[in-house]
């Protein structure tokens, strides 16, 4: 998804911008550009399609300037080419703009400008902003941007510079994140704090409807009526090396291997053996309010939705609260009825997913209480929720989500324990629950220690063009997640099903060319899954089973098996997803795919 970086300061502007854009690569992009403003004021724009390295090669050695803005574009309006890449300038090249989001009324605005003689150089929605700022300029860049914002409908995070005001960047936000990085005699602006972490740990987050005026010495935050807003500087505690690869071939591999630690961080300080309960600090709900919760609704997209599906089963089975997960993209337009004593949870790694954010807003508009479960601190969903729980997974850079998924499950365990202990769950059972959770780190370490077994299995399967992923009960969403992971990074067509459903249709696909990945936990549905495996084998379907250690029967039926350690039955979704993450990773590696940046995908999907 698009990314923004802006810089005012004493360093080499081009270098800071390019470095920042590189840090944003993980979000997904198809072209990139920068605009450097020379100390005399002139604006110099360089854009390239493809990787940041293409842009880097095109930027003049030693390009200097008073300030500059940069952008990575993920095409929404207009094809991928240099003219559509940002920054966009006005006709006289006096104003330069980078924009994240979508201007919904751009056609109408464009037609108006064209009628006045403006010639457009791109087919983007964003270019109108540059022309409108130029047209509206009377006495300051800040005033010109503000007047323009009143004309725009849609979402934006923008950064604007002008040859008329060297050394100043104006930023504004509505629906697309923007953060100010505060330094000594230098200031940064970015859509994502990772872009500036190499230079500063002090950040100020803009809210929707806010603007900022930045010079190297100071920043001023304002509302759209020119009133100054005092904002708090927050300290970012993510280490830069946390977002580098640390010797792993890919971020995805690194993030899979980080899971014992990231799960530990999700539990840290939240499990209490004195009370045999879980304590979550940020919910902003009294004990009485929590006890009054009669149903839980989870809203999320993609991998987070799969975590939500499992979470709802856990909440229902462990805490006995009726719970249901729904795709956030569907909730928004369904005109949902908010039942009394319902608690909504918006689950999102990035905290910026438009579908989930808009669903959250719609639910809140209708009076719902919505908690956020996010990884990115200070993200929009985290800030707009009534309360919430952070995942503390650390930055997730690979486009395919792995460690955030297991941290989401971890937080659902905590919520289940918390609610269960407020109701029927005994101290004894609470303690058993806690010790089952505390065994997870070593169980996952054990699985990761045998990653090479999965690599060998992946070698045998990566040439297939289609695969089915089958699971039941709590492992059904794990099958969905396994299929999603495989298709997004290896481009192998994969479908996840409840193992029980195959006889209702998908079994027609099974033959020697379509293998199945089957999840077989040792819960009460195990025997039924074994029957489903036999149905697959009877049709010459090859099987890679993920089963529980010691299950000889599965070994006899399946062509390949990976065993996870024996655990409490509710823990299997967490354990069984790890071999599937590794399986998709190694299949993609075998096929030579760009694992961390799969085609057409973006890390943070900030458009509907």
Q: Could you say which residues in the range 109-138 bind ligand F6R, by CB under 6 A?
A: none
Contact 485, 582 (CB under 8 A): no
Minimum distance from CB of 302 to ligand F6R (Å)? 2
Closer residue to ligand F6R (CB): 99 or 403: 403
Applying CB under 6 A, among 72, 215, 380, 401 the residue interacting with ligand F6R is: 401
Q: In terms of residues, how long is the chain?
A: 608
Q: Could you say which residues in the range 462-491 bind ligand F6R, by CB under 6 A?
A: 484, 488
Annotated catalytic residue, options 2, 67, 312, 425: 2
**Using rule CB under 6 A, residue 176 touches ligand F6R:** no
Task: Supply the DSSP symbol for 26.
Answer: G
Q: Could you say which residues in the range 488-517 bind ligand F6R, by CB under 6 A?
A: 488
Annotated catalytic residue, options 22, 47, 135, 603: 603
Minimum distance from CB of 407 to ligand F6R (Å)? 11
Nearest to 26 by CA among 216, 314, 204, 245: 245
Closer residue to ligand F6R (CB): 63 or 382: 382
Closer residue to ligand F6R (CB): 304 or 498: 304
Whether 2 is a known active-site residue: answer yes
Contact 483, 476 (CB under 8 A): no
Cis check: omega of the bond before 559, within 30 degrees of 0: no
Stretch that binds ligand F6R, among 213-221, 254-262, 334-342, 346-354 (CB under 6 A): 346-354
Contact 218, 228 (CB under 8 A): no
**Using rule CB under 6 A, residue 350 touches ligand F6R:** yes
Closer residue to ligand F6R (CB): 37 or 348: 348
Nearest to 570 by CA among 473, 496, 447, 463: 473
Stretch that binds ligand F6R, among 103-111, 288-296, 344-352, 456-464 (CB under 6 A): 344-352
Stretch that binds ligand F6R, among 98-106, 185-193, 283-291, 345-353 (CB under 6 A): 345-353
Nearest to 554 by CA among 577, 531, 584: 531
**Using rule CB under 6 A, residue 385 touches ligand F6R:** no
Minimum distance from CB of 451 to ligand F6R (Å)? 19
What is the SS3 assignment for 586? Answer: helix
Which residues, at least 6 apart from 117, have a Cβ–Cβ distance to it below 8 Å?
Answer: none
- E strand or H helix at 480, and its extent? helix 476-490
What character string, x for contact with ligand F6R (CB under 6 A) and - otherwise, covers 86-105?
--------------------
Closer residue to ligand F6R (CB): 382 or 554: 382
Concatenated DSSP letters of 200-245: -SEEEEPPTTEEEEE-SS-EEEEETTS-B-----EE----GGGGS-
Minimum distance from CB of 328 to ligand F6R (Å)? 8
CA 11 vs CA 19, 37, 159, 181, 206: distances in Å:
12, 13, 19, 14, 24
Torsion of CA 483, 487, 493, 495, to 10 degrees: 20
Task: Please state, in angstroms and rounded to a whole number, the distance separating the CA atoms of residues 517 and 525.
Answer: 17
Closer residue to ligand F6R (CB): 6 or 471: 471
Applying CB under 6 A, among 109, 400, 536, 589 the residue interacting with ligand F6R is: 400
Structure tokens at 381: 């969903």
Whether 374 is a known active-site residue: answer no
Cis check: omega of the bond before 87, within 30 degrees of 0: yes
Closer residue to ligand F6R (CB): 221 or 379: 379
Torsion of CA 256, 260, 262, 264, to 10 degrees: 170
Closer residue to ligand F6R (CB): 49 or 304: 304
**Using rule CB under 6 A, residue 194 touches ligand F6R:** no
Task: Please state, in angstroms and rounded to a whole number, the distance separating the CA atoms of residues 358 and 345.
Answer: 13
Minimum distance from CB of 479 to ligand F6R (Å)? 15
For 579, other C-beta atoms within 10 Å of its C-beta total: 24
Applying CB under 6 A, among 122, 342, 348, 443 the residue interacting with ligand F6R is: 348
Residue at shortest CB range from ligand F6R: 302
Q: How many residues bind ligand F6R (CB under 6 A)?
A: 15
Contact 493, 466 (CB under 8 A): yes
Minimum distance from CB of 463 to ligand F6R (Å)? 23
Task: Supply the DSSP symbol for 120.
Answer: P
**Using rule CB under 6 A, residue 353 touches ligand F6R:** yes
Q: Could you say which residues in the range 265-324 bind ligand F6R, by CB under 6 A?
A: 301-304
Q: Could you say which residues in the range 405-444 bind ligand F6R, by CB under 6 A?
A: none
What is the SS3 assignment for 459? Answer: helix
Closer residue to ligand F6R (CB): 255 or 551: 255
Residues of this chain that bind ligand F6R (CB under 6 A): 301-304, 348-350, 353, 356, 400-401, 484, 488, 604-605
Give the active site residues.
2, 603
């Amino acid at each position: 998804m698009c990314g923004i970086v802006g810089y005012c300061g004493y360093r080499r502007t081009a270098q800071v911008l390019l470095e920042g854009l590189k840090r944003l690569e993980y979000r997904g992009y198809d072209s990139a550009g920068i605009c450097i403003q020379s100390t005399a004021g002139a604006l110099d724009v360089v854009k390239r399609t493809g990787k940041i390295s293409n842009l880097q090669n095109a930027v003049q050695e030693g390009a200097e300037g008073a300030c500059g803005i940069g952008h990575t574009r993920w095409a929404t309006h207009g094809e991928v080419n240099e003219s559509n890449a940002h920054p966009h300038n006005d006709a006289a090249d006096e104003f330069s703009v980078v924009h994240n989001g979508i201007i919904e009324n751009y056609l109408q605005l464009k037609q108006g400008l064209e009628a006045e003689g403006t010639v457009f150089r791109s087919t983007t929605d964003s270019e109108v902003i540059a022309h409108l700022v130029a047209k509206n300029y009377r006495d300051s860049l800040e005033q010109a941007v503000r007047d323009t914002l009143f004309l725009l409908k849609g979402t934006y995070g923008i950064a604007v510079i002008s040859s008329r005001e060297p050394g100043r960047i104006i930023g504004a936000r509505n629906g697309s994140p923007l953060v100010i990085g505060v330094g000594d005699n230098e200031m940064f602006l970015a859509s994502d704090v990772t872009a500036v972490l190499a230079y500063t740990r002090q950040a100020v987050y803009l809210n929707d409807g806010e603007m900022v005026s930045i010079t190297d010495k100071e920043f001023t935050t304002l509302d759209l009526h020119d009133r100054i807003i005092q904002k708090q500087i927050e300290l970012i505690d993510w280490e830069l090396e946390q977002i580098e690869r640390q010797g792993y071939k890919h971020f995805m591999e690194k993030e899979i291997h980080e899971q014992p630690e990231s799960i530990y961080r999700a539990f840290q300080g939240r499990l209490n053996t004195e009370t045999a309960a879980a304590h979550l600090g940020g919910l902003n709900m009294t004990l009485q309010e929590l006890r009054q919760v009669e149903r839980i609704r989870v809203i999320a997209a993609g991998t987070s939705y799969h975590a939500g599906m499992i979470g709802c089963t856990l909440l229902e089975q462990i805490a006995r609260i009726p719970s249901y997960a729904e795709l956030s993209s569907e909730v928004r337009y369904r005109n949902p009825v908010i039942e009394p004593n319902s608690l909504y949870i918006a689950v999102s790694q990035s905290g910026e997913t438009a579908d989930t954010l808009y669903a959250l807003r719609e639910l809140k508009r209708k009076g719902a209480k919505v908690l956020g479960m996010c990884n990115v601190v200070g993200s929009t969903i985290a800030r707009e929720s009534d309360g919430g729980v952070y995942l503390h997974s650390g930055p997730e850079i690979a486009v395919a989500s792995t460690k955030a998924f297991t941290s989401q499950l971890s937080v659902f365990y905590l919520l289940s324990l918390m609610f269960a202990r407020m109701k029927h769950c005994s101290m004894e059972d609470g303690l058993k629950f806690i010790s089952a959770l505390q065994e997870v780190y070593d169980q996952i370490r054990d699985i990761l220690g045998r990653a090479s077994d999965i690599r060998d299995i992946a070698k045998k399967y990566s040439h297939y063009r289609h695969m089915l992923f089958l699971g039941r009960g709590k492992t059904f969403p794990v099958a969905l997640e396994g299929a999603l992971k495989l298709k997004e990074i290896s481009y192998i067509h994969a479908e996840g099903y409840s193992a029980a459903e195959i006889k209702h249709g998908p079994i027609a696909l099974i033959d020697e060319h379509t293998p199945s990945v089957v999840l077989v936990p040792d819960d009460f549905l195990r025997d039924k899954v074994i029957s489903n495996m036999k149905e697959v084998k009877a049709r010459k379907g090859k099987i890679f089973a993920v089963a529980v250690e010691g299950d000889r029967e599965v070994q006899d039926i399946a062509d390949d098996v990976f065993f996870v350690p024996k655990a409490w039955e509710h823990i299997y979704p967490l354990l069984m997803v790890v071999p599937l993450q590794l399986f998709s990773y190694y299949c993609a590696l075998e096929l030579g795919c760009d694992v961390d940046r799969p085609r057409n995908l973006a890390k943070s999907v900030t458009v509907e």
